[in-house]
Each structure stands twice: as structure tokens, then as C-alpha cells.
Homo-oligomer: A and B are copies of this chain.
Amino acid sequence: MPEEAAQSPRRRAGRPRSVVLDRELIARAALKLVSTHGYSTLTMSAVAKSLGVSPSALYNHVDSKQELMQWIQEIVMDGVDSSVFATHALDEALFRWAQSYRDVFAEHSPLIPMIAVLPVSGSPRTLEMYEAVAGGFVRAGWKPESIVPAIVALESFIFGSALDATAPLDIFNPGQYAGKLPQFEGALDAQRATGKNNSETAFLTGLAAIIGGLLVAGTNN
């Protein structure tokens, strides 16, 4: 199997014979593993196996599993649509950007605790995204010092919502406490009667609320 990978591109003269692994290959293999079998199956061993290589071989190309997960983040970040800030009004752009951001990380929620804490300097695509978002705020006439807090507030909501999106549908079922929580259960029944997905409704109404609320505060005072 390694031969297949080594022979497929026509080799330039003087190049080493069979370079099998590199960052791109490892990251893609990891992403494929995660996409098909979930993050619980993402082990260095499994990644190595899918590449037909021994686990220790990976450490010639990656420092740690943590770094490998940052590589995955970088690829995943490509799915976030930051182009809308160049084409739409700020409120509409924020709405679309936030939705793509949440949808992407709902599928990769194990990355969230890591991203929330990691310096952005390690992720050029994240920085590109921030540049696009900040540009949208600037063009809308925002006070400069209010822009970064607004972005962070939106991101907090987005990450929290992405985590929530992975929750089971019956997460609010009171179980043995049924009948003892009149106010909450009434609210729960009314929500259920709408037939809508609660996580989705919460995200959309919350997003509209926070964007609306921020826009009121961000330009005036």
C-alpha cells in the first residue's frame, strides 16, 4: 500500500524515493476518521493504522495529539462562511456567518474547549475570519473598542450553541421529578407543542436577540 502513494505522482529527479507521510496526509486521515466514526475513535493508533504506518511514525511529523487536533480545526474552519461581510449588511452578514459557524462546530464539538483557550496566532484561517468580521463592524460605523467584545460575545454564544446542538432531544425530560416542577414543565409542554426543534429555535431566537441587542448598543453611545 505504501507503494501506491509513492508512485502516483511523477517524481522529480533527485527527490527521496518514498515520502509517505506529511502534515496534509495525516490531517486528512484524522478528519476522515472523525467524520466517519466520531471523536471517540480519534487515537494516534487509529490514525496510524488508517495510514498503514506505526503510531510512533506519526511523531516524526506532529508534536502531539493536541497539535493534530489543531490541524483538524484549521481544515474545519474553512467551512465557516466569512465572505458574507463583503456582500451583506452587518446584521444579515452576522446572522449568516454565525449560522455556518455553529453548524460546522456542532459536528466538531470536541474541538470547542480547545479552541476557546488556544492563541489564535496558531490558526491563520481563524485570523482571516476575524479580519473579515472586524471589517464588517468597521464599515458599519462601530466604535473601535466595542468590536472585539462584540465578536467574543457572539463566539461565546456560537460555541455554547454548538455544544447544545449535540444534546439529545429529550434532555429536558424531568424523569422521576415529573409533576413537581409546574412552571418549567408547563413551559416545556408549550415548547413541545410547537413541534419545532428546541435547540434550533433557541439558537435562532438567541442569535436574533444578541445581534439586535449588540447593534443597538454598538453604534450609538
Contacts and interface: CB of A to CB of B under 8 A. Distances in A.
Interface of A: 109-110, 112-113, 116-122, 124, 127-128, 130-131, 133-135, 137-138, 143-161, 163-164, 166-168, 170-177, 181-184, 186-191, 193-194, 198-199, 201-203, 205-206, 208-214, 216-217
A156 B206 contact: yes
A174 B113 CA distance: 20
A97 to B, nearest CB: 14
28 contacts: A113-B113, A119-B171, A120-B174, A121-B173, A121-B175, A128-B181, A133-B184, A144-B190, A145-B194, A146-B205, A148-B172, A148-B202, A149-B205, A149-B206, A151-B187, A152-B199, A152-B202, A153-B203, A153-B206, A154-B206, A156-B203, A157-B157, A157-B160, A206-B210, A209-B211, A209-B213, A210-B210, A212-B216
A174 to B, nearest CB: 6
Given A117-B168, A145-B187, 7 more contacts: A119-B170, A130-B184, A135-B183, A148-B191, A156-B163, A156-B203, A209-B213
